[in-house]
Structure 1
Amino acid sequence: AMMNERYQNNKALPFLGKFKLNYLLKPLKKEYPFLKNSDSSSLQVVNEFLTQSWKNFFQDKTGQIGKPRFHSRKYLKKSYTGKSTIRITGKRYLKIPKLGYVRKYYLSLQVEISEPEKYSLTGKQVGIDVGVADLAILSNGLKYPSFDSYYFEKKAKVCQRKYARRRHLAKLLVLQDRNKKVLCPRSLESFTNWQKAQKSKAKYQAKAANQRRDYLHKLTTHLVKQYDVIAIEDLKTKNLQKNHHLAKSIANASWRMFRQMLEYKCEWYGKKLIAVDPKNTSRICSKCGYNSGAKPLEIREWTCSKCQTKHDRDINAAVNILHKATPTGQGLTMVTS
C-alpha cells in the first residue's frame, strides 16, 4: 500500500529500494506483531521480490507487465522462501525457523554444481520422427512408445466429477445463506469436502506429470549417450495443438518437453542437435527421393510407386529427417552443440 502511494505521488515521495524497505521491518513488527511469527530472512525475501516486480514494471516498454498487486486472500499459496538454515529431520519432517516442524512439503533447492562431464563419442548419428502412439521413431528402425497416463487420467476424471459436484452444492448453500440473511453466512472456503476432492484430483495429475517427466529424462539421456548427432523436426507444437482431434494426444506425448530436454542435454554432454524443416518428410521416398504426395494419417505403411520400396511411414520420415540434417542437406534451421 505504501509503495502504491509513492507511485501515485512519485514527485513528492521517492521510490524505496530493498535495503530501505528492510529498515522498515522493525517498526512494522511493532505495529503488526504477527510479523514476528516468521523469521526475518523470509520478510527480506518478500522485499526483494516486491522491489524487483516494481523494477520490471518500470522497465517494461511493451505494456505487458502490470503494476504489482496484493496477493489474493481467496487462493492462498502456502509457500515459504527464506535464507535461514532449514533442517530435514528424519524421513518426513522439515524444520523451518520460527514455524517449527512441517510434515508435508515440497522442497526446492538452488545450489552451485560443477559442469557435467562430456559423454564419450560413439560416431553414430540418428534422425528422430515424433509421433502420438510412439513418441520417438528412429531412422534405424527403433521405436520408443509414448508415456501411458491412462490410469492417472481415469482417476483424475473421477475426482474432477466429485470436485465439480461438491463445489456446485457448496455454492448453492452459500447462496441460500445470503438469501435467508443468516447471522453467520457460510463462505465457499468453509466447505472442506470440495477442497478434499480438489486435492485428490491435483494429486493424480501431479503423479502423471512427474512420471511422464521421469520417462522423458530417461529416454533423452539414453539417446544423447548413444548418438553424437541427433536430427529432429522443427515442429511448431502450439500450431499443431489447434487440431482438436490431436491436441490431447500431442500434449500427452510432450513433444515440446522432449525437444527441450534433448537441447540442453546435447549442450551439456558435448553432442549435437539439429532441427530441420519437416516439410515433405512423410511424402518423399527415403531411397529414391520420389515425392508421392500427401497421405491420410491412417496409412502407416506405403510402397513407393517409382522404386517399389515398401516403407514404414514413421521410419521413412525419420530417415528423411537425418538426410536433411547432413551438411549438404537443405532445410537446416538450428544447430545446438
Structure 2
Amino acid sequence: MYYAYKYRLKPSDPHREELDRHRDICRQLYNHTLYRLNEYQEKHGELPSMTTLRSELPDLKKWWDGLSDVYSKVLQTVVERLFDNLEGLSALKKNGYGVGQLKWKPPRESRSFTYSQSGFMLDKKGGQTVLSLSKLADIPIRLHRAIPDDATLKQVTVKKEPTGEWFATFGVQMDREPPEPPENPEKCVGIDVGILKYAHDTDGTAVGSLDLSDERDRLEREQRKLSRKQHGSNNYEKQRRCVAECHADLRRKRRDFLHKLSNYYAREYDLVAVEDLNVKGMMESPSNSRNTASAAWRTFLLLLEYKCVREGTHFVAVNPRGTTKECASCGVSTDKPLWVREHSCPACFTNAYSASSHTREAVPALLSGKYPDVAVDSGYHLATESVASTLSDAGYATAGFHSNPFVSRAYGFDEGFDHFDDDLHLGQHKLIALAQRALDKVRNRHYARAEEINERSLEWLDSLDNGESFFLWNHYMDTHGPYEPPSEYATLWADHGLSGRDAQSLYQRAIDDPESITDEERQLLVDLYDAEIRYNDAYIGEFLDALRERGLLAESLVIVTADHGDAFGEHGYYEHPRYLHDEITHVPLFVRPPSGANGTVDAPVSTLDVAETITGSGDGVSLLGDIDDDRRVFSQARGEDDDSRIRRHQLAHPTAKHFACLNDTLRLMHSSTTRRSTPIPTNHGCFASSSTQPVTQRRRLPAD
C-alpha cells in the first residue's frame, strides 16, 4: 500500500531563501511549459505529449541559468504536474462541469516542488536528523514518528504553508499487504454524523463535536485587523501571517480529532457503515453552511476509508436518503423537522386485528376492550364502560373529536368525555344524526377533514391547565369512502382525481354492483384510497409535531390504529361489509410509550388490547408487555338486514385461520383450503382450520 507521512522542516534563514528560490524557479518553469503547450496546440492542432515537453528541458538549461541549479527529477515532476492538472480538468468536463483553461501561477499560488525516485534521503548529521535534498541543502527535520522499517521512500514533496512554515511529505510504499476483511464480520457499527453530536453510532456511543469557538473568535478578530491594513505593506504581510496561523490552528485541531475518531472505528470494528453525505449540496444551503463546512464530514469519510483498508475492516458508504426518518428495525418512515435530533420509533404490530369489520362494532370494542356482543346492545348503543369513563373517574381530562354519526352522542358514546365533539350541529337524537349525515352528503361534505380534527383537538389541549393529565381520542375519517383526497394528493398515484359527485357515484356503484367495476376503475379506487392514507398520514404527523412543540409528546402514550380496512373486490365486494376477511380486519397498529419503543412485534394482537394498554386494569393483554407468539385473537361481526341473526367469527393464529357463522339453530364451518361450507349440529365444534392466506398490504408509506 501507498501512504503519506508528513513532517515539519526546521530550515535556517539561508535554507529558507534557497527553498524559496527553488520554488520560484519551478513556478516559472510551470508557466513556461504551459506557454509551450498552448503554442504547440495552436501550431499542430493537438496537445503535445508529456515526453515532448520534457525533452525540451536540456535545451532550456543552455540559456536559462537558474534551471541548472535545480535537480533534474524536480524539473521533470513540474511537467508531470501540468499534465496532471489537464487530466483533472478533462475529468470534470466529462462529469458535466463547466471548466476553463489552465492559467499561469503567480508567486503566492505555487508553494511546493517534488523530488521523485532520487535526489533525497534522510540522514544523521551533527546529532540531528536532516533531509538531504540534491542541489539544495541538508535541512533539519522533526521526525515525530518513525517511518516503518519495511517502507520504501518513493518521493518527497516540500511545501511552504501560508504561515511561512515548511513541511516535507514522504510518499511511502509498504512491502506488506493489508489484512483481508473478515468474511463474516461480527463487530459491526453504523455511524450517523451530525453537528451537535459529531457521531452517534448504533452501539449507543455519542461523540461530541469539537469545540472550536475560541479559535473562530480569534480568527475573526485577526481578520478584522487585516482588513484595516494597507494592502502590500509590511504590516499587512505580518497580519496576513497571523490570519494564516489561525487557519492552520483550526485545521490541525480538526484533523487531529478526525484522525483519532476514524482510527478508533477502523481498529475496534469488523465493519463500519457511515452516511455518504452530499456535503457540496449541503454547503449550498442558505443556512448552517459554516457549521457544515467546519464538520468536515467528507474528510472524515476519506480518513475512515483508508484506515479501514489498512486495518482490514469493511467500509460501507450508505446512501443517506431517508435514514433520518426511517426506523432501522421496522422500516417505518417518521417525518420530523430538522430540530428533532432523536428518533423515537413506535412499536409496530404486524399482526394486529380489529375486533370487528365495521365501525358500529369495531369502535365500541376499541374504546371498551370488550367484544362487540358485550360492548353494544342490539341497537348499537354503547352498553359498557369505556376507557374515557375509567380515566375520567381517575381524574383525567377527557375529550373526543370525530365526525361519524354512528359513534356519536346519539348512541351514548359521549359517556365519560368532558368534551365530546362529534360534529353533530343539528341535534343529538340518532334520527337527527342520520338526517345530518344525509344532508352533508348532499352538500358533498361527508366527514370533517383531518386538519379540522387537529385544529379542534389542539385548541382543547391548549385550554388545559399546565401539567394536567388528559386522554384524547381523535377519530379521522379521511380514508373512509367515498375517496376524495385533496388535489395535491389525488395525483400522487392516479393520473387524475374525481369530482365529489363522480367519486361518490363510483364508490356507491362499487358497493351496489361490484361486478360492474372495470379493472381501470378498481385501480383508480385503490389509488385514491392510497392518496387518502397519504393525506391522513401527513396530518397525523403534523398533530404529533404540534404535541412535540407543546412539550407533550415525550410524556404521552401515543397509539395509532384503525377500526377496519376496506376491500377492493378481492372477495367479490367493496368497502367493509360484515365479513371477516383479512383485507377488512387486518389493521395497522403503532404504539409509542413515553419512554419510546423500537422494533416490530409479530405476535397476534387485537384492537381490544388498546383499552388495557391505556388503563392497565389487569383485565386484558397490554401491548406494552410480553405477548405470547402462539396467541389467538378473535374477530366477530353481526349480519345485516335478513342476516341480522347471524354472527360471523374469525380466529387469527400465526399458523392458521378459522371461520364460522352462527345463528340460533345452525352453525356453519368454512375452510378456505377445501373451499367448502358444511352445516354442523349445534352440539359440535364450530371452527375449522385452514392454511393462512398471505395478507395483501395495500397501504403505502409516505414517498419522502
Tell me the TM-score normalized by structure 1. 0.70
1:4 aligns with 2:257: no
In 2 relative to 1, CA 143–99 (structure 1 residues): closer, same or farther, beyond 3 Å?
Answer: same
In 2 relative to 1, CA 142–311 (structure 1 residues): closer, same or farther, beyond 3 Å?
Answer: farther
Corresponding position of 2:67: 35
8 Å contact 1:137–1:144 — kept in the other structure?
yes
8 Å contact 2:178–2:309 — kept in the other structure?
no
> Which residue, 94, 102, 116 being the options, matches 2:178?
116
State the secondary structure of the residue aligned to 1:294.
Answer: coil
Corresponding position of 1:215: 257
Q: Quote how far apart the aligned CAs of 1:219 are.
A: 1.3
Corresponding position of 1:309: 593
Corresponding position of 2:111: 78
Cα distance in 2 for partners of 1:243, 1:98 equals: 50
Cα distance in 2 for partners of 1:101, 1:267 equals: 35
8 Å contact 2:326–2:333 — kept in the other structure?
yes
Q: Quote how far apart the aligned CAs of 1:112 are.
A: 0.8
Aligned letter for 1:198?
Answer: R
8 Å contact 2:275–2:320 — kept in the other structure?
yes
State the secondary structure of the residue aligned to 1:196.
Answer: helix
Cα distance in 2 for partners of 1:68, 1:211 equals: 33
> Which residue, 270, 275, 280 being the options, matches 1:238?
280
Q: Quote how far apart the aligned CAs of 1:244 are.
A: 3.5
1:226 aligns with 2:268: yes
Cα distance in 1 for partners of 2:328, 2:93 equals: 49
**Cα deviation code 1:292-324 (max 9, x no counterpart):** 542450565864723333468xx98xx99xxxx
Over aligned residue pairs, what C-alpha RMSD do you find?
Answer: 3.8
Corresponding position of 2:479: none
Cα distance in 1 for partners of 2:335, 2:178 equals: 45
Aligned letter for 1:237?
Answer: V
State the secondary structure of the residue aligned to 1:262.
Answer: helix
Aligned letter for 1:158?
Answer: R
8 Å contact 2:192–2:200 — kept in the other structure?
yes
In 2 relative to 1, CA 263–309 (structure 1 residues): closer, same or farther, beyond 3 Å?
Answer: farther
In 2 relative to 1, CA 311–218 (structure 1 residues): closer, same or farther, beyond 3 Å?
Answer: farther
Q: Quote how far apart the aligned CAs of 1:157 are.
A: 1.7
8 Å contact 2:181–2:314 — kept in the other structure?
no
Larger radius of gyration: 2
Corresponding position of 1:105: 166
In 2 relative to 1, CA 151–3 (structure 1 residues): closer, same or farther, beyond 3 Å?
Answer: same
Corresponding position of 2:194: 131
Cα distance in 2 for partners of 1:286, 1:29 equals: 66
Q: Which has the higher strand share?
A: 2
**Cα deviation code 1:136-176 (max 9, x no counterpart):** 1122321111122223222222221222221xx23xxxxxx
Q: Quote how far apart the aligned CAs of 1:45 are.
A: 2.2
8 Å contact 1:134–1:146 — kept in the other structure?
yes
> Which residue, 30, 46, 50 being the options, matches 2:78?
46
In 2 relative to 1, CA 31–296 (structure 1 residues): closer, same or farther, beyond 3 Å?
Answer: closer
In 2 relative to 1, CA 249–122 (structure 1 residues): closer, same or farther, beyond 3 Å?
Answer: same
8 Å contact 1:122–1:226 — kept in the other structure?
no
Cα distance in 2 for partners of 1:61, 1:239 equals: 19
Cα distance in 2 for partners of 1:247, 1:232 equals: 21
State the secondary structure of the residue aligned to 1:81.
Answer: strand
In 2 relative to 1, CA 197–119 (structure 1 residues): closer, same or farther, beyond 3 Å?
Answer: farther
Q: Quote how far apart the aligned CAs of 1:278 are.
A: 4.2
1:288-303 equivalence runs, <5 A: 293-295=335-337, 297=339, 303=554
Cα distance in 1 for partners of 2:320, 2:80 equals: 45
8 Å contact 2:192–2:199 — kept in the other structure?
yes
In structure 1, runs of 5+ residues without a counterpart are: 171-187, 321-337
Cα distance in 2 for partners of 1:42, 1:21 equals: 14
Q: Quote how far apart the aligned CAs of 1:20 are.
A: 4.6
8 Å contact 1:86–1:96 — kept in the other structure?
yes
In 2 relative to 1, CA 295–207 (structure 1 residues): closer, same or farther, beyond 3 Å?
Answer: same
8 Å contact 1:42–1:82 — kept in the other structure?
yes
8 Å contact 1:156–1:201 — kept in the other structure?
yes
Q: Which has the higher helix share?
A: 1
State the secondary structure of the residue aligned to 2:113.
Answer: coil
Corresponding position of 1:96: 133
8 Å contact 2:185–2:271 — kept in the other structure?
no
Tell me the TM-score normalized by structure 2. 0.36
Corresponding position of 2:535: none
**Cα deviation code 1:244-289 (max 9, x no counterpart):** 3321222222222223333333344333344445455445667777
User: Which moves more between the two structures, 242-251 or 104-113?
Assistant: 242-251
Q: Quote how far apart the aligned CAs of 1:10 are.
A: 0.9
Q: Indicate the percent of aligned positions where both proteins have the same amino acid.
A: 26
Cα distance in 2 for partners of 1:123, 1:59 equals: 39
User: Which moves more between the two structures, 136-145 or 36-45?
Assistant: 36-45
Cα distance in 1 for partners of 2:98, 2:260 equals: 37
Aligned letter for 1:242?
Answer: E
1:198 aligns with 2:261: no
Q: Quote how far apart the aligned CAs of 1:96 are.
A: 2.7
Aligned letter for 2:113?
Answer: Y
Corresponding position of 2:586: none
Q: Quote how far apart the aligned CAs of 1:214 are.
A: 2.0
State the secondary structure of the residue aligned to 1:7.
Answer: helix
Cα distance in 2 for partners of 1:296, 1:27 equals: 64
Corresponding position of 1:335: none
In 2 relative to 1, CA 147–21 (structure 1 residues): closer, same or farther, beyond 3 Å?
Answer: same
Aligned letter for 2:77?
Answer: V
User: Which moves more between the two structures, 110-119 or 284-293?
Assistant: 284-293
Higher RCO by CA contacts (8 Å cutoff, separation 6 or greater): 1
1:168-207 equivalence runs, <5 A: 169-170=230-231, 188=232, 191-207=233-249
In 2 relative to 1, CA 162–122 (structure 1 residues): closer, same or farther, beyond 3 Å?
Answer: same
State the secondary structure of the residue aligned to 1:222.
Answer: helix
> Which residue, 225, 228, 232 being the options, matches 1:162?
225
In 2 relative to 1, CA 77–290 (structure 1 residues): closer, same or farther, beyond 3 Å?
Answer: closer
Cα distance in 2 for partners of 1:40, 1:285 equals: 60
State the secondary structure of the residue aligned to 2:192.
Answer: strand
Cα distance in 2 for partners of 1:20, 1:155 equals: 50
Count of residue correspondences: 292
8 Å contact 1:124–1:227 — kept in the other structure?
yes
